[in-house]
Chains A and B, each alone.
Chain A
Amino acid sequence: MKPFRSDAVFAAAAILLSANSAALAHGWAGQRFFPATILTDDPFVADEMSLPQISVNPPGPDGARQTDYQIDLSKRITPDTDVIIRDQWQHLQPVGMPSVAGLGSLQTGAQYQLFVNGPHEALGLVGLNVTWAHTGRVQALGAPDFTTLSPTFDFGKGLGDLPRSLPYLRPFAITGNLGFDFPTKTESAGVPNPDNFNYGFAFEYSLPYLECCVKDIGLRAPFNQLIPLVEVSFTTPINRVPAGQTIGTIQPGVIWAGQYFQIGAEAIIPANRFTGHGYGGVVQFHIYLDDLFPRSIGKPISEWW
């Protein structure tokens, strides 16, 4: 490395010290970039915002159709912790009845980045999410009249550390979350509120990773920024209701990840008849606040002063 002028070094060091937490923002582990997935929780703390996420859900078991317009904000408090807030406007069209619309339940959460392992492209995060009672339309839209506590463990692992003799497997990555729901009321209007086990995974094939780190096959924008993926997510009641009432969805799709934002689109396929039938779809516009505003709101709050 050629020698540099000392004043340039000091200036750069000052810049780094003023915003050195950028290393943990976004979903980076070593040379692996993890995009924010749509269905499953992300295994990294971040300064990011989904604005909006629009879901046209498959018809439910009773044939009702619901469309959700969701906003989601993650904000780092320190380099390793963040808070999230999420809400949605719901539009429900029951079969043979007038449609209804209103706010869904407010969700908040706090998360801690347990580890980031660069060489093995691994991430781990623990969090506690809270779905708040009486913050949505309880009667009309079925929003809960009880608060639910949901501890979660989220993880991510890239396969970039596979032997170089398996080059085309190295762009694969998996992220996932394991968690529970603990409602604070055991029943509402005579209907039991079970504790749930939640599990979900996202299987990703990163074309940016293929291009930058495995083999340049000549893809250029926008194709070299695409990440095809399949997400699955399930919820299984573990008490208070008969066994075998797992619900879930399978969501194949693609994410385009740019410098300042990403755009994702997925089909929504019910995993079983308890979930619904037919098909739906979801699109998401997701903003990287740490890249858009690296010197202001994109920094952790602990580094604002």
Chain B
Amino acid sequence: MTVMSPSLKAEIRDLSFSFGQVQVLKSVTLPISERRVTALIGPSGCGKTTFLRCLNRMHDLHPDARYKGEIILHPDKINILDPAVDPIEVRMRIGMVFQKPNPFPKSIFANVVYGLQIRGIRDRATLDERAVQALQDAALWDEVKDRLHGPATALSGGQQQRLCIARALATNPEMILFDEPTSALDPVATSKIEELMTDLKQKVTIVIVTHNMQQAARVSDFTAFMFLGKLIEFDRTDTIFTNPSSKLTEEYVTGRFG
């Protein structure tokens, strides 16, 4: 259940984004509450994945990306989009889990500790401890504790995705971004990961993009509906799904779009 008035983890103010001449996001403003799940829904091409990738500056990898507006991260109130802010620093505070599970073709252990290693943590005892914690938090520990040094690619799709979640968790990020994390998985694996997210939100703020509305309804506390690069409506999830304010939202949510 949602507790009333949670604190803010991030504020997105007037975010516009374009690839070269093409404007993909138009003046999006919305809050991200701390230790809650915020879902982004909308039809294909509405800009929700683009929005998500602005949060950890992943678009910096493309030379044509142009950000406008601010994303203020609390509690220190820095603007993530400021060119003076190092994107590496942003990514060390905000992790990401991708649509198709992408574990490194190394051992399970090597996968989980990679994030720690590039932060300069080399002590074996610390790495072990953090790896175990991360794998437990990702509900994967019991399944892999006997084969930590076996190949990550030998795991099933659902397990690989949980491994990617463990890998992101190991570095204790403040926020984790999920980009359609279960769209490549079967229903059982999907529901395991949804359960996991409901547990995880007690520790870390979660933002999830999903094209599955029922998933957004099941998992999230707040939902944002986007269309053609604009934010149409943002509200508590139960309100969006029982009594949305905008007619467009109602049409999308009841499946009458198109």
A and B physically associate: no
Q: Which residues of A contact B (CB under 8 A)?
A: none
**Chain B positions near chain A (C-beta within 8 angstroms):** none
